[in-house]
Structure 1
Amino acid sequence: MKQLYLNIMKCFLPVLFVSYMAGITLFTHSHVVNGVTIVHSHPFKKGSQHSHTTVEFQLIHLLNHVLVTDSGITPLFTAAVLTILCIIITRPREVRYKVSCPGIISLRAPPVV
């Protein structure tokens, strides 16, 4: 079942991406509403005129103007960098070896060429 799901996703996601890119690049047009030019894109018939309601224009505005800032990522990145620096600075300088059997010295012979 999981393999079937992965095969469907392998086909569906590229088709979704290509259709989205085609929609935003091939069907760009503009409307003038109350002296304001609104440019957007969606599939429509070239020869026919179409219009949008006020609610549709508000939805187009909300979908086209998404603002993403890094304010949520910056504190996490800073904390990660400081943690790594603390580990590097405070790590012990001497090398300690683990002994598999305490009290038994088991030395290895040099490799033979």
Structure 2
Amino acid sequence: MKQLYLNIMKCFLPVLFISYMAGITLFTHSHVVNGVTIVHSHPFKKGSEHSHTTVEFQLLHLLNHVLTTDSGIIPLFVAAVLSILCILFTRPRGMRYACSCPGVVSLRAPPAV
């Protein structure tokens, strides 16, 4: 049953995305209501006049304007900053370097141990 569900989702989600992108790209038009131009998109027959009710315009406004807050990003940011600080403060203070040939001037930096 789970495999059937996954196979249906593999086909359904790309079709849903493509139809959504086609709907918002191909059917853009505008209406003037009380001196305000409202631009939106939905499938309709070209050449035929259509209108929307006030409730439909409010629904289009709600569907087209998404408000996102940063409440989901703050915990991730804090976790990233704390992990970087832990890495920086727990690193050993003194680094020892190995010299392959004592007394010989080398043109490259010695490897760190």
Residue type of the alignment partner of 2:11 = C
TM-score (norm 2): 0.72
**Structure 1 residue 60 corresponds to structure 2 residue 60:** yes
1:68-113: CA deviations, max 9, x gaps? 23343124322332134325523689xxxxxxxxxxxxxxxxxxxx
Residue type of the alignment partner of 2:42 = H
Q: How many residues align?
A: 93
Aligned counterparts of 1:6 and 1:72: Cα–Cα separation in 2: 28
Within 5 Å, give how 1:62-81 maps onto structure 2.
Answer: 62-81=62-81
Q: Structure 1: which 4+ aligned runs deviate by more than 3 Å?
A: none
Aligned counterparts of 1:10 and 1:75: Cα–Cα separation in 2: 32
Aligned counterparts of 1:32 and 1:72: Cα–Cα separation in 2: 38
TM-score (norm 1): 0.72
Residue type of the alignment partner of 2:61 = H
Aligned counterparts of 1:14 and 1:76: Cα–Cα separation in 2: 29
Q: Percent identity?
A: 90
Secondary structure (helix, strand or coil) at the match of 1:47 reads: coil
